[in-house]
Copies of this chain bind each other. A is one copy, B any other.
Amino acid sequence: MKVLGVVVEYNPLHRGHMYHLDSSIKLIVPDFIVAVMSGNFVQRGEPAIVDKFARTEMALKAGIDVVIELPTVYAIQDASGFATGSIKILDATNVVTDVVFGSESNDIKTLERVASIIVEESEEYRSSLKRYLKNGLSFPNARRYAIFDQISKEGIDIEQIKYPNNILGVEYLAVLQRIKSQMRAHTIKRIGSSYNDERISEIPSATAVRKSIRFGEKILGIPRFTHHILEREFSAGRGPVFVEDLFEFMRLKMVILGREGLEKLYGFNEGIAKRMIKAVENSHNMRNFLTKTKTKRFTFTRIKRRALYAVLDINREFVKESNEFGPQYLRILGFTRRGRKLLRIMSTHASKPVITNVSKFNKALEKRSVNVSLAHQQLTLDLKSTDFYSLLFKNEIERKVHRDFCKPLEIQ
């Protein structure tokens, strides 16, 4: 039995995603497809345009059999943390045999070599890392430069790992190596617009699609079912939710936290806390704030992620533990009729509890080897994130909490 595993955000699902899925299917010819998907907050440090339930429906309509939620603590981290959560989830299913991800270079050998540098942590790599840290670089940046040093010595073109999908690919491969996963990794070549391209082409970027939504333009490059789902959500007043909608809360929250409060959170040091507080105090909207905070290395995405850490109270210890021990449950957001079969197999084989009913969470934890306190922290954040997100809806009647306590979506 071949089971394809993919990592997605579908924010929202567009033709590029469809192409990617079709190519993966052609490559693997799987019996089933499992996707691990970000919840209501996504890796670029933003709320998703529509909520995880609507995006799960898109995934199922696109041909995914089972959708598992990537816990929020991983979904809003950088490439390394995001990869840690998603690969560990796919591995924990104990049914996924093949993982496919997109890559600009589509040269998996090189990406694997780069990954092994991170995993093996040679003497040379470590001393180079230490040197950069000593020079005052942040850990992610120091690590990047240490990797560049190593790969340029091996004659690998460092430009290769400056592309976002290659970077993420390297991180996926590093996690696979580290946990000695049985899953086979494959890449397919990414086509169409690049990540941040705002111009709509036949294969659009999710950024371009969101921009069309924001400015009320015709949305091009999305399948008919995405259209229907978006229309339904928007007319009910459940979205679209934009990062701008966080601004007022974020500003007040950061003023109350103050510099000392921020410094206790993940991703903040004195300098970053100071810079962000000063910027937010003098801004009247999100764009303003981001522009005032940005530096060459402190990109919009990094700032937005940190803004989310402040909004959601993400503390350092929790992220550290989560990255060390991995996700403590497999939360099922939805499945197809076909997927139900796979779900049954998964429920008996998975190394972490499979949660289809959040209100039975505590009972589910008893069954398998789980770090119970960490599991609670992770789930609590997921539930809070859903509630918080729902309270941002424009339609007051839709501002309801506890949406996570509904049954998973099941479609034919």
Residues of A participating in the B interface, judged by any CB pair closer than 8 Å: 248-249, 251-253, 255-258, 261, 281, 284, 311-313, 380, 384, 387-388, 391, 396, 399, 401-402
Cα distance, A130 to B145, chains bound together (Å): 65
Closest residue on chain B to residue A255 by CB atoms:
B387
What are 25 A-B residue pairs whose CB atoms fall within 8 Å in the complex? A248-B248, A248-B249, A249-B249, A249-B252, A249-B253, A251-B391, A252-B388, A252-B391, A253-B253, A255-B384, A255-B387, A255-B388, A255-B391, A255-B401, A256-B313, A256-B384, A256-B388, A257-B313, A258-B380, A258-B384, A281-B387, A281-B401, A281-B402, A284-B396, A284-B399
Chain B residues near A284: list those with CB within 8 A. 396, 399
A313 in contact with B401 given A387-B281, A388-B252 (CB within 8 Å): no
The residues of B that contact A384 with a CB separation of less than 8 Å are: 255-256, 258
Q: Complex Cα distance A256/B257, Å?
A: 13
Minimum distance in angstroms from A13 CB to a CB of chain B: 28
Out of B251, B312, B399, which one reaches A256, CB within 8 Å? B312
Q: Which 9 A-B pairs have the closest CB atoms?
A: A281-B401, A255-B387, A249-B252, A255-B388, A284-B396, A256-B313, A256-B384, A252-B391, A252-B388
Question: Which B residues are in CB contact (< 8 Å) with A380?
Answer: 258
CB atoms of A261 and B313 under 8 A apart: yes
Query: Distance (Å) between the CB of A376 and the closest chain B CB?
Result: 10
Chain B contacts of A401 at CB under 8 A? 255, 281
Q: Which of A248, A257, A312 has the most CB of B within 10 A?
A: A248
How far is it, in angstroms, between the C-alpha of A240 and the C-alpha of B138 when the chains are bound? 45
Which residues of chain B are within 8 angstroms of A257 by Cβ–Cβ distance?
A: 313
How far does the Cβ of A403 sit from chain B's closest Cβ, in whole Å?
Answer: 12
A255-B387, A256-B311, A256-B313 given. 16 additional CB < 8 A pairs?
A248-B248, A249-B249, A249-B252, A249-B253, A252-B388, A253-B253, A255-B384, A255-B388, A255-B391, A255-B401, A256-B312, A256-B384, A256-B388, A281-B387, A281-B401, A284-B399
Q: In the bound complex, how far is the Cα of B231 from the Cα of A70, in angstroms?
A: 53
User: Cβ of A248: which chain B residues have Cβ within 8 Å of it?
Assistant: 248-249
CB-defined contacts of A255 to chain B, threshold 8 Å: 384, 387-388, 391, 401
For A402, what are the chain B residues with a Cβ–Cβ distance below 8 Å? Answer: 281
In the complex, the chain B residue whose C-beta lies closest to that of A376 is B260
| A258 to B251 Cα, complex, angstroms | 20
A194 to B284 Cα, complex, angstroms: 42
For residue A386, which residue of chain B has the nearest CB? B255
Which of chain B's residues have a CB closer than 8 A to the CB of A252? 249, 388, 391
A280 to chain B: closest residue by CB: B401
Residues of B close to A261: CB separation below 8 A? 313
**Set of chain B residues within 8 Å of A387, measured between Cβ atoms:** 255, 281
A388 CB contacts on chain B under 8 angstroms:
252, 255-256
Alpha-carbon gap, A284 to B388, bound state (A): 14
Cβ contacts under 8 Å, A311 to chain B? 256
Within the assembled complex, what's the spacing in Å between the Cα atoms of A387 and B259? 14
CA distance in complex: A340, B255 (Å): 33
CA distance A252 to B258 in the complex (A): 18
Report B-chain residues with C-beta under 8 Å of the C-beta of A312.
256
Taking CB atoms, residues of chain B closer than 8 Å to A391 are 251-252, 255
CA distance A261 to B377 in the complex (A): 12
Inter-chain CA distance A402–B249, complex, in Å, is: 19
